[in-house]
Amino acid sequence: MKQVKTSRDRKAKWLVPFLLFVGIIIDAALPAIFPGAFIGTSQIIISHLVLYYIVTFSFYLRDTNILFYAFIFGLLYESYIATLLGLYATLYFLLAYLIIKLRKFFPKKAFIHFMLFIVAVTIVDFIVFVFYFELGLTNVTITTFLVDRLGPTLIFNVVLAFLLYLPTKQILNWLGFEEYIIF
């Protein structure tokens, strides 16, 4: 049993940061290459692949440094994509902490994982909107935000989460978590 845990920890130690790093790169490129025919002219799509993997690893993996990774990759995400430094890092850290504390109350099912991801995307985008609005960095109304940004972002990320279901299941199986992500 000790050998399995050591192998799992060793795999997770390099795989988690690798997937988060690749997620940052894809998050930056995905909305730009997404066909404009699927969204309106004023609508914006924000990819949350990094957040997807933070939610996934916080929900399923034990004994990882996901809180540290959430903060560090939140800073990297901001330095690469966002305007202000510290907001995403703090939000990612707090969401990972919250999921770690709440996961014992939820079964390890894909449906619960998807719901947590949808809630996480909503929370992150809404807090970022409020923060930018209060600082005067945006003058978008709440209605415009909900229709032009949050709605398309949620739809896009739900589809992304469904597309990532099987690869994520394979990754978790490879890490030794066969009993998880079962409908």
- Which one-letter amino acid corresponds to residue 103? R
In the structure encoding, which two tokens stand for residue 172, read together?
A: 């978790």
pLDDT tens per residue, the chain (183 residues)?
455 555 666 777 788 899 999 999 988 888 777 766 567 678 888 889 999 999 999 998 876 689 999 999 999 988 877 767 789 999 999 999 999 999 889 888 888 989 999 999 999 999 999 999 999 888 899 999 999 999 999 999 999 999 999 899 888 888 777 554 444
How much is the pTM?
A: 0.88
d(CA 129, CA 150): 10
Check: CB of residue 114 under 8 Å from CB of residue 97: no
- Which one-letter amino acid corresponds to residue 30? L
Check: CB of residue 117 under 8 Å from CB of residue 51: yes
In the structure encoding, which two tokens stand for residue 84, read together?
A: 């202000």
**Closest by alpha carbon to 162, among 95, 117, 96?**
117
**Closest by alpha carbon to 55, among 2, 5, 124?**
124
